Structure 1
Amino acid sequence: MIPDVLFALGLLLTPASQLRLAGFPVGPGEICLLIWIVLILGREAARLGQPLTPALSRLLIFWSIFTIAQSLGTLTARLIGDQHDPEWFMHDVMAYPLLAAVSCLSLIDPDAGTRLRRVGWLLCALGTPVVAAQLAHLWGLFDIPSVDPLWWDQFRGWSSNPHQLAVLCMVLGILSLHLAETATGLGTKIAALACAIVPVYAGRLTGSDSFTLILVAAGPIFIAFKFRTWLVSRAPRVSFRSAFAWMIVLALPVIVISVVPLAYSIAVEAQGLANSMARENPEETEEKTSLRFELWGQAIRRGVESGMLGLGPGPHLEIPHSIVSQRNMDTAQPEFVEHPTPSFAPNFEAHNTFLDLFTQGGLIIVLSFIWIVATAFWFAYRTGQAGLPTLLCGLCIYSIATFILRHPIFWFVIALCLVAEPKPADLVRSVTGGKALSGILSRSPLRIGYGTSKLRTRSS
Structure 2
Amino acid sequence: MFLTSPVMHIAKMQTVSPWLLSLGLVFSVATQLRLPGLPLGLGEVLLLLWLLTTVVSANNWRSPALACVLALTLVGALFLSAGYFVTVYPEGQLRPPALHDTLAYIFCAVLAINYARIADKYENSLPAMLLWAFLLSTLLALALGVIARDRSGMDVMYYHTRWQHLSDNPNQFALLALPLPFLALYLILRQSENQNLLMLTLLGLLALGLGWYSQSDALTLAWLGGGLVAALALYGKYPKLSTSAQHTAPRARRIAALLMFLMVAGSAWQWRDVAVQVTQGTGTKAGTKTKTGTCSNLMGTPKNPINADQNQVSIRLCLWRNALTAVQYAPLTGLGPGPHSGFTKPFDGEEAHNTLLDWGTQAGLVGAAALVGYLTWLLWQVTRRRYYELAAMLLALYCFAMFHLMLRQPLFWIMPLLALQLALCSGASDSDVKPKK
Shift of the alpha carbon at 1:120? 2.0
Contact 2:116–2:417 at 8 Å: present in 1 too?
A: yes
**Does 1:106 find its partner at 2:115?**
yes
Deviation at 1:311, TM superposition (A): 0.5
Counterpart position of 2:293: none
Report Cα offsets for 1:106-127 as digits up to 9, x if no partner.
1212233xx1442222111121
Whole-angstrom distance in 2 between the partners of 1:272 and 1:197 = 16
In 1, Cα distance between the equivalents of 2:194 and 2:336?
A: 50
8 Å Cα contact 1:358-1:365 kept in structure 2: yes
Task: Judge conservation of contact 1:181–1:387 (CA < 8 Å) in 2.
Answer: no
Contact 1:131 1:199 in 2 (8 A): no
Please say if residues 19 and 28 of structure 1, whose CA atoms lie closer than 8 Å, have aligned partners that are also in contact. Answer: yes
One-letter identity of the residue aligned with 2:387 = Q
Give the structure 2 partner of residue 158 of structure 1.
166
TM-score, with length taken from structure 1: 0.71
Superposition deviation, residue 2 in structure 1: 1.0
The Cα of 1:80 is off from its aligned counterpart by 5.4
3-state SS in 1 of match to 2:116: coil
Counterparts of 1:212-291 in structure 2, within 5 Å, are 212-227=220-235, 229=236, 274=272, 287-291=311-315
Contact 1:149 1:155 in 2 (8 A): yes
Q: Deviations over 1:220-258 (max 9, x none)?
A: 21113544x57xxxxxxxx999xxxxxxxxxxxxxxxxx
Identity rate of aligned residues, in percent? 24
Equivalent residue letter for 2:73: W
Give the 5 Å matches for 1:412-427. 412-419=414-421, 420-421=423-424, 422-424=426-428, 426-427=430-431
Q: How many residues align?
A: 365
* Larger Rg computed on CA atoms: 1
Determine if the alignment matches structure 1 residue 91 to structure 2 residue 100: yes
Could you tell me which runs of 5 or more consecutive residues in structure 1 were left unpaired when the two chains were aligned: 231-238, 242-269, 322-344, 433-437, 442-454, 456-460
Question: TM-score when scaled to structure 2?
Answer: 0.75
Unaligned segments of structure 2, at least 5 residues: 1-14, 238-245, 249-267, 284-306
Tell me the distance in 1 between the aligned counterparts of 2:16 and 2:269: 49
Contact 1:10 1:33 in 2 (8 A): yes
Deviations along 1:243-292, one digit per CA (max 9) or x if unpaired, are xxxxxxxxxxxxxxxxxxxxxxxxxxx8899359999x966677322211
* Counterpart amino acid of residue 214 in structure 2: T
Secondary structure (helix, strand or coil) at the match of 2:376 reads helix
Task: Name the counterpart of 1:446.
Answer: none
Quote the residue 1:123 is aligned against: 130
SS of residue matched to 2:189: helix
1:388-407 mapped onto 2 (5 Å cutoff):
388-407=390-409
- Residues 70 and 310, structure 1, Cα contact 8 Å, conserved in 2: yes
Alignment-derived partner of residue 7 in structure 2 = none
| Aligned partner of 1:358 among 357, 360, 379 | 360
1:376 to partner: Cα distance = 0.8
CA RMSD in angstroms comes to: 3.1
- Residues 1:211 and 2:219 aligned together: yes
Match of 1:199 among 184, 199, 207: 207
**Paired position in structure 1 for 2:74:** 64
Deviations 1:130-165 (A, max 9, x none): 124324555446555332322222121211110010
Secondary structure at the counterpart of residue 18 of structure 2: helix
- Report if aligned partners of 1:77, 1:306 keep a CA contact under 8 Å in 2: yes
Provide the rounded CA distance (Å) in 2 between the counterparts of 1:413 and 1:184. 25
Deviations 1:191-215 (A, max 9, x none): 3233212221111111111222233
1:419-452 deviations in Å (ceiling 9; x for gaps): 22244453356xx5xxxxx3xx4xxxxxxxxxxx
What residue is the counterpart of 2:35 in the other structure? 21
Is 1:84–1:346's contact at 8 Å kept on the other side of the alignment? no
Label 1:272 to 1:368 Cα distance change in 2 as closer, same or farther (>3 A).
Answer: closer
- Summarize the Cα distance change of 1:9–1:306 in structure 2 as closer, same or farther, 3 Å threshold: same
- Cα-to-partner distance string for 1:402-425 (whole Å, 9 max, x where unaligned): 112222112111211332224445
Whether the 8 Å CA contact 1:106–1:116 is kept in 2: the answer is no
Instruction: Please state whether the residue corresponding to 1:406 is helix, strand or coil.
Output: coil
1:268-323, CA deviations, whole angstroms, 9 ceiling, x for partnerless residues? xx8899359999x96667732221111101000011011342100111123449xx
Aligned mate of 1:306, from 326, 330, 336? 330
Q: Which has the higher contact order (CA 8 A, sep 6+)?
A: 1
Distance 1:135 1:393, change over 3 A: farther
Q: Is the 8 A contact 1:181 1:189 kept in 2?
A: no
1:98 maps to amino acid: F
In the alignment, what sits opposite 1:349?
351
Q: Structure 1 pair 240/38, CA: closer, same or farther in 2 (3 Å)? A: closer
